[in-house]
Structures are given as C-alpha cells and as structure tokens.
Amino acid sequence: MLEKLAEINERFENLTHELGQPDVTQDQERYRKLSQEHSGLQEIVECYHRYLEIQQELDDNRELADADNEDQEIREMASQEIPELGRQLEELEKQIQLLLLPKDPDDSRNIIIEIRAGTGGDEAALFARDLFQMYAHYVEA
C-alpha cells in the first residue's frame, strides 16, 4: 500500500509542477483534465502525508519509551501516547484504503432525473422507458 501511495504522491507532485507551466494554461482542455486529476489525488496525498507524520511520531515515541537514558517522566508520556497514535494510524489506513478504491465514472456527473409513467398503462410505461433511454444516450454523448 505504501508503494502505491508513494507513486500517487510522485504523480501529484508532477501534476503540481506541470500545472505551474505557462504552456499548459494555453490549452484549456489539457489544463482542465490535469486540474481534475490533481484535485482527485489531493485528498489521498494529504492522508498519505499525515500517515507518514504519525508513523514517524509513533516510531519516535517507541524509541523514547525504550530508551534507558531518558527521564522517567518522558518515557511515561511517550508510552501513554503510543496507543493513541496506533489508533490514529489504523483510522488513516482505513481512510486511505477507501480513497484508493476505483472511482465510478458516473460519480462526477451531477444530475438526477425522475421519469414516471403516470396514467396510461403499458403505453405510458413504454414511453417513459424510451424517454429515459433518450436522455441517457444524450448524457453519455
């Protein structure tokens, strides 16, 4: 999972650099696609950075808790923080796993349409179906 996140982080940094180039803003379609990809990766990258920070803090606290030359009070504080940091790490792992699930292509579409057959029996239902299919094909085009 961490390897995949590192790849995503690298892609995010490349997109950030590419979006800063003046020639990209000249091509509006390319700029739009890159911006959408950038915004789609942003939340994953933020969670990845938080994960790395908490992992580092957890490692530091374990090191402090196991150190013999540290003050007893510091060791106790470090050992008390370890369970909370472990819980935060688990929550972030779950959140990252959800964010890594593939996106549905229809998620970016933002319309809801309701077509009812109303009165008229089977013919009204057939017309409603045809109307729905017409709208569906129009939206996909």
Tens of pLDDT, residues 52-83: 999 999 998 888 888 776 678 888 888 888 89
Cβ-based neighbours of 48, under 8 Å, separated by 6 or more? 5, 8, 9, 96
User: Do 93 and 48 fall into the same domain?
Assistant: yes
Q: Please, are residues 141 and 131 in contact by the beta-carbon 8 Å criterion?
A: no
Cβ-based neighbours of 119, under 8 Å, separated by 6 or more? none
Where in the sequence is the domain holding 21, given as residue range(s)? 2-110
Q: Please, are residues 57 and 46 in contact by the beta-carbon 8 Å criterion?
A: no
pTM of the full structure:
0.68
User: Do 124 and 95 fall into the same domain?
Assistant: no
Q: Running DSSP on this structure, what letter comes out for residue 108?
A: G
Distances (CA, A) of 52 to 5, 14, 42, 47, 79: 11, 20, 15, 9, 19
Structure tokens belonging to residue 52: 């790395």
User: Do 21 and 88 fall into the same domain?
Assistant: yes
User: Do 89 and 129 fall into the same domain?
Assistant: no
Tens of pLDDT, residues 100-116: 888 777 776 777 888 99
Tens of pLDDT, residues 10-47: 999 999 998 888 888 888 888 889 898 899 899 999 99
Q: Please, are residues 90 and 103 in contact by the beta-carbon 8 Å criterion?
A: no
User: Do 26 and 63 fall into the same domain?
Assistant: yes
Confidence of residue 93 (pLDDT cuts 50, 70, 90): very high
- How far, in Å, CA of 71 to CA of 45, rounded? 37
| Predicted confidence (pLDDT) at residue 140 exceeds the cutoff of 90 | no
